């Protein structure tokens, strides 16, 4: 009980992600000399929907879950963003994630706005049947505000292609016709795109390669560690090691490991799939999360949740490059420390934009009734994300700021232009 209370206290000490997002916006607004009215419009979501979801559980009881869909801004195109299932979901977290999606689609220069959804639940302790019934009820609850030209959801933490298939089926049943473009990250058999499942990790690798070039880091001799060995983190590791860097540590919700000898990323994933965790991988030592983040590697990728890199951890980070596969892993205070210490951070809204870039390619294929090969998709992803990297790097050089501020200047700047040109209704 005492321990539980202490954990709650610790959780409460974590910064509010939406406040972090607003602070990042405030910094960008200063550089962009944004008019106060535009700044205010960009600091508030356009629409926030909270839904109650009654679900019949396997034991016959009915439980009511709370879900959200926050539509932040659609000045540049339809709302776009994933759906997260996690016990720690809060409205402020979903608001922050929807703001980051808005800047992310803008940095990637794809014609979307930003949104995010979430349900407070613990899918690890729910059967497939319970997850399906909860998902379908959520899809029905948000159906009035989503659609191929309105708002296009996708996977996020603890949701996957199967979850997307249930949402597609529920939405299409209610509409009366099959509408594959309402959702991305679908199974291939339902109009999903080749390359979408690995896109977040692959995109993050392309940005790491670009970051290594501008920082003169030799990838052939480099080492790296990944915090959070889920979809983004494990694909990042598998693809990055093919460019030369050696994986020296990883973590998941059950613990962190480091190793004195390089870890084969594919074998680590097989170990996690077999045992349920990266912990216990042959030849590795169990370490704390902080030890993993501060381990002696050249490249570090936080690929878990928000608030992973707080000021206290930031002080001891030894990596030269941080590639943020997660959304919002670094707080604004920690950012300042990393920048002062010369750590080159590839920020989330750039580093993990590969997921939504390939979502966009999936949506285009659905709307145009065409299909591209995996090589074509990966090539388009590489071109788009590398050009976004150079836009952000140029902005950071021009203003003499870190890459996060550079990315915010590019992302917020484009949205602000769109908002301004549209004018204020009525």
Q: Is the preceding omega at residue 227 within 30 degrees of 0, hence cis?
A: no
Residue, CB closest to ligand GLU: 82
Q: Which stretch binds ligand GLU (CB under 6 A): 28-36, 74-82, 305-313, 387-395?
A: 74-82
Residues 159-188 that bind ligand GLU (CB under 6 A): 184
**Spatial distance between the Cα atoms of 245 and 22, rounded to a whole number of angstroms:** 35
Q: Which of 80, 104, 116, 246 is catalytic?
A: 116
Residues 3-62 that bind ligand GLU (CB under 6 A): none
- Tell me if 327 contacts ligand GLU by CB under 6 A: yes
- Tell me if 118 contacts ligand GLU by CB under 6 A: no
Is 116 considered catalytic here?
A: yes
| Complete edge-to-edge strand list for the sheet that includes strand 299-302 | 284-287, 255-263, 246-252, 223-227, 299-302, 321-323, 344-346
- Residue closer to ligand GLU by CB (options 359, 365) is 359
- Residue closer to ligand GLU by CB (options 154, 250) is 154
Site string for ligand GLU, 359-378 (x = CB under 6 A): x-------------------
Q: Which stretch binds ligand GLU (CB under 6 A): 203-211, 309-317, 349-357, 393-401?
A: 349-357
- Tell me if 352 contacts ligand GLU by CB under 6 A: yes
Q: How far is the CB of 218 from ligand GLU (least distance, A)?
A: 30
Q: How far is the CB of 101 from ligand GLU (least distance, A)?
A: 6
Q: How far is the CB of 286 from ligand GLU (least distance, A)?
A: 29
Cβ 78 vs Cβ 105: under 8 Å: no
Residue positions counted in the chain: 426
- Tell me if 156 contacts ligand GLU by CB under 6 A: yes
- Applying CB under 6 A, among 28, 154, 165, 167 the residue interacting with ligand GLU is 154
- Applying CB under 6 A, among 146, 325, 356, 395 the residue interacting with ligand GLU is 356
- Tell me if 346 contacts ligand GLU by CB under 6 A: no
Q: How far is the CB of 150 from ligand GLU (least distance, A)?
A: 14
- Tell me if 355 contacts ligand GLU by CB under 6 A: yes
- Tell me if 235 contacts ligand GLU by CB under 6 A: no
Q: Which stretch binds ligand GLU (CB under 6 A): 40-48, 218-226, 239-247, 350-358?
A: 350-358
- Tell me if 198 contacts ligand GLU by CB under 6 A: no
Q: How many CB atoms lie within 10 A of CB 351?
A: 35
- Applying CB under 6 A, among 81, 117, 118, 328 the residue interacting with ligand GLU is 81
- Applying CB under 6 A, among 67, 78, 82, 411 the residue interacting with ligand GLU is 82
Q: Which residue from 225, 226, 224, 207 is spatially nearest to 215, judged by alpha carbons?
A: 207
- Residue closer to ligand GLU by CB (options 116, 133) is 116
- Residue closer to ligand GLU by CB (options 82, 192) is 82
- Residue closer to ligand GLU by CB (options 38, 83) is 83
Burial code of 161-176, b = ≥16 C-beta within 10 A, e = fewer? bebbbbbbbbbbeeee
Cβ 202 vs Cβ 235: under 8 Å: yes
- Residues engaged in binding ligand GLU (CB under 6 A): 80-82, 154, 156, 184, 327, 352, 355-356, 359
Q: Which residues are catalytic?
A: 116
């Amino acid at each position: 009980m005492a321990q539980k209370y202490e954990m709650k206290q610790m959780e409460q000490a974590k910064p509010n992600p939406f406040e972090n997002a607003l602070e990042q916006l405030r910094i960008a607004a200063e550089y962009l000399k944004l008019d106060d009215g535009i700044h205010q419009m960009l600091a508030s979501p356009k629409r926030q929907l909270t839904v109650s979801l009654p679900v019949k559980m396997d034991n016959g009881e009915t439980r009511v879950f709370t879900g959200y869909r926050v539509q932040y801004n659609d000045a540049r195109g339809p709302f776009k963003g994933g759906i997260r299932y996690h016990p720690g979901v809060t409205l402020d977290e979903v608001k922050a994630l929807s703001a980051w999606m808005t800047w992310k689609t803008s940095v990637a220069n794809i014609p979307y706005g930003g949104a995010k959804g979430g349900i407070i639940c613990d899918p690890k302790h729910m059967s497939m049947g319970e997850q399906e019934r909860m998902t379908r009820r959520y899809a029905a609850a948000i159906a009035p505000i989503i659609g191929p030209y309105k708002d296009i959801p996708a996977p996020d933490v603890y949701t996957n292609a199967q979850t997307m298939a249930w949402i597609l089926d529920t939405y299409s049943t209610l509409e009366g016709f099959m509408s594959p473009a309402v959702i991305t990250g679908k199974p291939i058999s339902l109009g999903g795109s080749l390359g979408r499942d690995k896109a977040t990790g692959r995109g993050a690798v392309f940005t790491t390669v670009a970051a290594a070039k501008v920082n003169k880091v030799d990838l052939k001799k480099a080492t790296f560690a990944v915090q959070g060995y889920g979809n983004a983190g494990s694909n990042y590791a598998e693809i990055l090691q093919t460019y030369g860097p050696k994986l020296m540590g990883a973590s998941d919700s059950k613990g962190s490991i480091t190793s004195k000898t390089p870890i084969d990323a594919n074998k680590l994933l097989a170990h996690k799939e077999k045992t349920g965790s990266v912990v216990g991988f042959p030849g590795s030592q169990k370490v704390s999360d902080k030890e993993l983040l501060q381990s002696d590697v050249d490249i570090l990728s936080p690929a878990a949740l928000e608030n992973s890199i707080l000021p206290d951890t930031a002080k001891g980070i030894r990596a030269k490059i941080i590639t943020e596969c997660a959304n919002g892993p670094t707080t604004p205070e920690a950012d300042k420390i990393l920048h002062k210490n010369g750590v080159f951070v590839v920020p989330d809204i750039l580093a993990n934009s590969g997921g939504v870039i390939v979502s966009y390619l999936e949506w285009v294929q659905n709307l145009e009734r065409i299909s591209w090969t995996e090589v074509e998709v990966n090539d388009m992803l590489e071109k788009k994300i590398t050009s976004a990297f150079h836009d952000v790097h140029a902005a950071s050089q021009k203003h003499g700021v870190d890459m996060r501020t550079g990315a915010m200047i590019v992302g917020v700047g484009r949205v602000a232009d769109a908002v301004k040109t549209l004018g204020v209704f009525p």
